[in-house]
Amino acid sequence: MNSADLGRRVGVPSTALFTDQYELTMVQAALKAGTADRRSVFEAFTRRLPEGRRYGVVAGIGRVLDAVENFHFDDEMLTFLREQNVVDGPTLAWLADYRFSGDIWGYPEGEVYFPGSPVLRVEGSFAECVLLETVILSILNHDSAIAAAASRMSAAAGGRGLIEMGARRTHELSAVASARAAYIGGFHTTSDLAAGFRYNIPTVGTSAHAFTLLHDTERDAFRAQIDSLGRGTTLLVDTYDVAEAVRTAVEVAGTGLGAVRIDSGDLLLVAHRVRQQLDELGATETKIVVTSDLDEYAIASLAAAPVDAYGVGTQLVTGSGQPTCSMVYKLVARAGSADPAEPLRPVAKKSLGSKSSVGGRKWAARRLDENGVAEAEVVGTGAVPPELADRQLLVELVRDGEVIAREPLDTARERHIAARAGLPMSAVQLSRGEPVIPTEYV
C-alpha cells in the first residue's frame, strides 16, 4: 500500500487533555488503592439508536487510532495539572510516562452497528484504559452521527452525486471530521480543502452569489468564470432571474457548459424548467446541481427531478437532527490483578432505569438468512458458535500499544456500501422504525 493512500499525516497535538477531569482523579485514587494495574476490558456501545434510525454507521476509527497514538502528557500539560491541583505528585509522575500499551479491537470503519454492538473494545490496565474514555467517545459519537446521516442521504440520492459543503455551519475542526465521515457514508466530494488535504477526499467548488454581484452584469460574471475555469465549470444561475441566467450561461459557455447550480426556490419545479430550457438550447449534457438546506427527506422528494448532484451543508454536519449516537464507554470485565493469567470477571452497572449494561468481554457476529441478508446481530461472551465463526465483526486495531490497522478511507467507504447492501431493504426507508435487525445476546 502506498502511504499516500492513507492521506497526509498532518501533525496532531497531544490529545491527552481532550478528557474529563474525573478520568484523572479515578487514576489517582486507583493508584493509591493499588487497583490501577488491574487488567480491564472497556467497551464502547450504544444502548439504543437515535429515534427513528434503523442502523448506525461506524466512523471515526481512524481518528481514534490517531488520538490514542498521540495521547501523552508534555511538560506544559503536567505543569497545568500541578498548578490547578488536579492530581497529586505520584499521579503526575505516572502521567509523565503514560503511553497506551494495551490492545484495541473494534468494528472496522464503515461497518454498520446496532444497539449493544461492541463497537470498540479496549483492553489493558484500568488506569491506561479509563484515560481514553472521553476522547474515544467524542470522536465516535460525532463521526458516527455524521456518517449515519450521510448514509441516509446517500441511499435517498440513489447514485446521484453528493457534495459535502457544511464547513461554514460548524466548528472549523469538526468540519474536517464531518467531511471525512460523510465520505465514508457515501458522499463523493467535499468543498473543504482541509479535508481534501488531510484525507485525500476529492474537492470541488466554483463560485458564490457574491461573485455574480461583484460584476456589473451576470454575463460579465459568467464570462470571467468561464475564462478562468473553462467551459466545464458550474455556473450559479439563481442570483437574479433563473431563466435569463440559464440562457446567458449557454450563450457565454456554449452547449458544452459543465453544470448549473440552483440554490433557492421550489427546487423540484425549477429543476424541471431548467432541464427543459437547457435541452431546448442544445446543452443536453449540462448537469444540474441543487443546494439550499437539503436533508435526506428533501433529497428523496427530488428523486423524480432531473437533478444530477446535491450539495448538502447544515443538515449533514449536524447529523440531520441527531448530532450524537449516545455511545457510552463501560468497564465490562476486570481481573483481580495485573497478572495476565488472572481470570477476567464480568462486571456491569445495575440500574432501575435504562442505563443498565451487559457485563463480560464480548464478541459480535452478524447472522444471515438463506438469501445472505442480515437477520440478527449476535453478541456473546462465551465461545463463538461454529456457524458464526466466519461472520465475526471485531477486528484487531491496536496490539501492545502499536496501531496495526490503518487503511485508506476509500476502503471504509466501500465497506459501508457493502454493509448497507447486506441489510434488509427496509433499512433505507426514511420512515421512522425500529432497528432493522434485532440484537441477540448468547
The answer as to whether 124 is a domain residue is yes
| Same domain as 327, residue 306 | no
Residue 379 counted as domain residue: yes
What pLDDT is attached to residue 4?
43
Query: What's the CATH code of the domain at 433?
Result: 3.20.140.10
Same domain, 248 and 363: no
223 lies in a domain? yes
* pLDDT recorded at residue 432: 85
- Please check whether residues 254 and 385 belong to one and the same domain: no
> What integer pLDDT is reported at residue 11 of this predicted model?
58
Instruction: Write down which residue in 319, 343, 369 finishes a domain.
Output: 319
For the chain, the domain total comes to 2
- Residuewise pLDDT in 10s, the chain (442 residues): 444 456 665 555 799 999 999 999 999 999 999 999 999 999 999 999 998 899 999 999 999 999 999 999 999 999 999 999 999 999 999 999 999 999 999 999 999 999 999 999 999 999 999 999 999 999 999 999 999 999 999 999 999 999 999 999 999 999 999 999 999 999 999 999 999 999 999 999 999 999 999 999 999 999 999 999 999 999 999 999 999 999 999 999 999 999 999 999 999 999 999 999 999 999 999 999 999 999 999 999 999 999 999 999 999 999 999 999 999 999 999 999 999 999 999 999 887 667 778 999 999 999 999 999 999 999 999 999 999 999 999 999 999 999 999 999 999 999 999 999 999 999 999 988 899 999 999 9
Last residue of a domain, one of 319, 352, 377: 319
* Residues 177, 267 within the same domain: yes
Is 208 found in the same domain as 184? yes
Together in a domain, 293 and 171: yes
171 plus 288 within the same structural domain: yes
Same domain, 392 and 255: no
Residue 287 has a pLDDT of 98
Q: Which domain holds residue 164?
A: 158-319
Residues 96 and 133 in one domain: yes
For every residue of the chain, which 3-state class applies, written as one string?
CCHHHHCCCCCCCCCCCCCCHHHHHHHHHHHHHCCCCCEEEEEEEECCCCCCCCCEECCCHHHHHHHHHCCCCCHHHHHHHHHCCCCCHHHHHHHHCCCCCCEEEECCCCCEECCCCCCEEEEEEHHHHHCCHHHHHHHHHHHHHHHHHHHHHHHHHCCCEEEECCHHHCCHHHHHHHHHHHHHHCCCEECCHHHHHHHCCCECCCCCHHHHHHCCCHHHHHHHHHHHHCCCCEEECCCCCHHHHHHHHHHHHCCCCCEEEECCCCHHHHHHHHHHHHHHCCCCCCEEEECCCCCHHHHHHCCCCCCCEEEECHHHHCHHHCCCCCEEEEEEEECCCCCCCCCCEECCCCCCCCCCCCCCCCEEEEEECCCCCEEEEEEECCCCCHHHHHHECCEEEEECCEECCCCCHHHHHHHHHHHHHCCCHHHHCCCCCCCCCCEEEC
In this predicted structure, what is the pLDDT of residue 1? 40
- Asked if residue 2 belongs to a domain, the reply is no
Q: pTM for this one?
A: 0.94
Query: In this structure, are 47 and 83 located in the same domain?
Result: yes
- Do 181 and 285 fall into the same domain? yes
Q: Is residue 150 part of a domain?
A: no
Among candidate residues 292, 319, 346, the one where a domain is terminated: 319
- The per-residue pLDDT for 356 is 75
**308 found inside a domain:** yes
- CATH code assigned at 178: 3.20.20.70
With respect to residue 151, please indicate whether it lies within any of the assigned structural domains.
Answer: no
Based on the fold, state whether residues 172 and 227 are members of the same structural domain. yes
In a domain, 288, yes or no: yes
